[in-house]
Amino acid sequence: MTPRLVMVSGGARGLGAAIVRRCLADGHAVSVGARDPAAVRAAFGKAVTAHRFDADDPGSAQSWVDATVAQSGAPDALINNAGILRMVDFTRGEEDDLDALWNVNVKGPFRLIRAALPHLRASGRGRVVNIASTDAKRYRDSSVSLGYVMTKQALLAMTHAVRFAGWDDGLRGTAICPGAIDTEMIANIPGVTPKAQRLQPEDVAEIVSLLLRLPNQASVPEIVVNTRLESTI
């Protein structure tokens, strides 16, 4: 495998940190975008470059891409990992919560893909991996956040659009759709998969590793990894 320069959003802790660790173990160079770059440096030292990326600041997407190019070179892969969960449906939550979900889970990845696209296409082996959810594939029941489901389904649609945006240039996009991952984000959510049955962050990082190893001839639009027995996913 030829090493890549990989951009990972939200890589200071949880799943993002596991993805960063796996990328480093595979020999990739890593640029991490996070709201608190100091936390990234504290976690990884000089093994990665750390830059500010905040989905609530639209300009930070382009700034992170530009800073990565200036410091490390053009990226070959973008991992859109940063995301939030707020409980929003027809009776719970506020419209501000829905706006926050849309801004972080959809607009953030959209801006990053748009900013990185010229470099990913020029790479000849560009990759975009979007961390979605099993909620991107269906609406399970009323215990879930409808707002979260809506944003993850939008992220899935965006992933398919990536493939069309640079197919002839070797750009490939994949949405990883995992069930419950044992991170802080779902720690106190009612109805979530019991802790012992959750995926570990390293499990999902292993899938990212596989996708970065595959050649252009292997296009994998979606990977669903459920923690529950369901009839369709």
Q: Which residues are catalytic?
A: 148
Evaluate whether 188 touches 103 at the Cβ level (below 8 Å).
no
Tell me how far apart the alpha carbons of residues 175 and 23 are, in angstroms, rounded to a whole number.
18
| Cα dist from 219 to 100, 128, 159, 171, whole Å | 32, 11, 12, 9
HSE toward the beta carbon, residue 5, CA cutoff 13 A? 17
Tell me how far apart the alpha carbons of residues 136 and 53 are, in angstroms, rounded to a whole number.
24
Amino acid at position 19, single letter: I
Q: Provide the token pair at 41.
A: 């440096």
CA dihedral 195, 145, 95, 153 (to 10 degrees): 110
Amino acid at position 165, single letter: A
Q: Give the N- to C-terminal CA distance of the chain in Å, as an integer.
A: 31
